[in-house]
Amino acid sequence: MPPLAERMRPKKWEEIIGQNHLVGESGILTKFIQQSFIPSMILWGPPGVGKTTIASLLAEKLQRPFFILSAVNAGVKEVREVLEKSQKNLFTLKTTPILFIDEIHRFNKSQQDALLAAVEKGIITLIGATTENPSFEVVPALLSRMQVFVLHPLNKQEMLMILQKAIKEDVFLSQKKITLHQTDALLAHSGGDARKLLNALESIVQQNPSDEIIITDDLVKNTLQKSILYDKNAEQHYDVISAFIKSIRGSDINASLYWLAVMIKGGEDPVFIARRLIILAAEDIGLANPNALLLANACFDAVHKIGMPEARIVLAETTIYLAQSPKSNSAYLAIDKALEFIDKHGNHPVPLHLRNAPTQLMKELNYSIGYKYPHDYPQHSVEQQYLPDDLKDIQFFTPSDNDKINKR
């Protein structure tokens, strides 16, 4: 018998629970269905929130041929085979097939490039599912041809609806008398992930074979405590990387190495870890040690080149270096302050003396007139105003005591 999560997968569009901003009556994907049209898209969100279900039901509602690949075990060869089938379907059925690629972030550049021409020519409508930010994981040329839709973790009410539905409608669970006396532990364990929620419920039922089961927080904790291990595709993925980053930010080397080891043992993607180290080097170390960003970027390149298990050494070296490095978030605060100012006040016109003057007309309009070229002055520096008049005294950047740039 298939797992409970698979047995309870919605069979109709109207049965989808959650993601109302996409699949509700006024949701954008529902409107696409009403128009008998969908663009190529990325469904970006955490595990167990309906990405695969939405893709398959879109194909069913639009009566499109549906092909599915997992980026974990599919290569360029498998992609090309599907594209050939899609082209034949397009020719014979006069309708564009949908190709769904789960975990599209695991496709490398050459695999993603293989999809680009097919999307451009309309051979397929591509739907990619990812738990990672597509801005980092999908090549720009392909991403620019796709719309990105964000899916959210399911809320408490939605999770309870899924539980009740499973208890009442599942062919196996409906034969038992299951009472939800307490649900906090079950919901906390699941973290907004419907698949994890249903897997946990099934595990509890299997380990308590009585025909009458009263679900309490203690029962959930006692039943699931041995199975709560690091899961790179679930809540622990976010909790552990958070603990890892905060430990480095707090300069605790041993804690940083512990959380790094948890992720490595759990099979976390080393590239994901390396990318987060780059972000930390810029955000939390910044001008206190500009070399940290260079080392973090070198770590990212090395992890790409050598892979595991040797990449663990590079990750550990970089983690230790960043943890013991002086910290400053002055650059992070400064750019956010500037962006917030633009949001509130808009951008001001560029002063005439700073404008480019490639044409005679621009010169006649005094573009570039009065600009002082710093290299024409002693020490290659000269005082002049670079901000608009009404902003000349504004200050976005406040150096911290650790900023090495101020010690030169």
Q: Report if residue 296 sits inside a domain.
A: yes
Structural domains in the chain (count)? 4
Q: Report if residue 1 sits inside a domain.
A: no
Of 300, 324, 348, which residue constitutes the final position of a domain?
Answer: 324
- pLDDT tens sequence across 319-328: 999 999 999 9
Of 150, 185, 200, which residue constitutes the final position of a domain?
Answer: 150
Q: Report if residue 362 sits inside a domain.
A: yes
Tokens of 142: 């392909």
Among 218, 155, 242, which residue's Cα sits nearest to residue 190? 155
What CATH number should be reported for the domain holding residue 83? 3.40.50.300
* Residue 301 sits in the same domain as residue 268: yes
The alpha carbon of 157 is separated from its chain's Cα centroid by a whole number of angstroms, namely 24
332, pLDDT greater than 60: yes
Element counts in the chain: helices (H) and strands (E): 19, 7
- pLDDT tens sequence across 370-397: 899 999 999 999 999 999 988 988 999 9
The confidence band for 343, taking pLDDT boundaries of 50, 70 and 90, is confident
Say if residues 246 and 275 touch (Cβ distance below 8 Å).
no
Report the alpha-carbon distance of residue 400 to residue 391 in Å, rounded.
23
What CATH number should be reported for the domain holding residue 402? 1.10.3710.10
* Residue 250 sits in the same domain as residue 141: no
Q: Report if residue 13 sits inside a domain.
A: no
* Residue 171 sits in the same domain as residue 49: no
With the C-alpha atoms ordered 141, 146, 152, 153, is the resulting torsion angle positive or negative?
negative
Q: Report if residue 162 sits inside a domain.
A: yes
- pLDDT tens sequence across 40-93: 999 999 889 999 999 999 999 999 999 999 887 777 788 888 888 888 777 776
Report the alpha-carbon distance of residue 201 to residue 164 in Å, rounded.
11
* Residue 200 sits in the same domain as residue 272: no
Q: Report if residue 9 sits inside a domain.
A: no
* Residue 22 sits in the same domain as residue 106: yes
The confidence band for 405, taking pLDDT boundaries of 50, 70 and 90, is low
Of 303, 324, 345, which residue constitutes the final position of a domain?
Answer: 324
Q: Report if residue 39 sits inside a domain.
A: yes
Quote the domain boundaries for residue 146: 18-150
Q: Report if residue 7 sits inside a domain.
A: no
Identify the residue with better confidence: 323 or 105. 323
SS3 69: strand
284, pLDDT greater than 50: yes
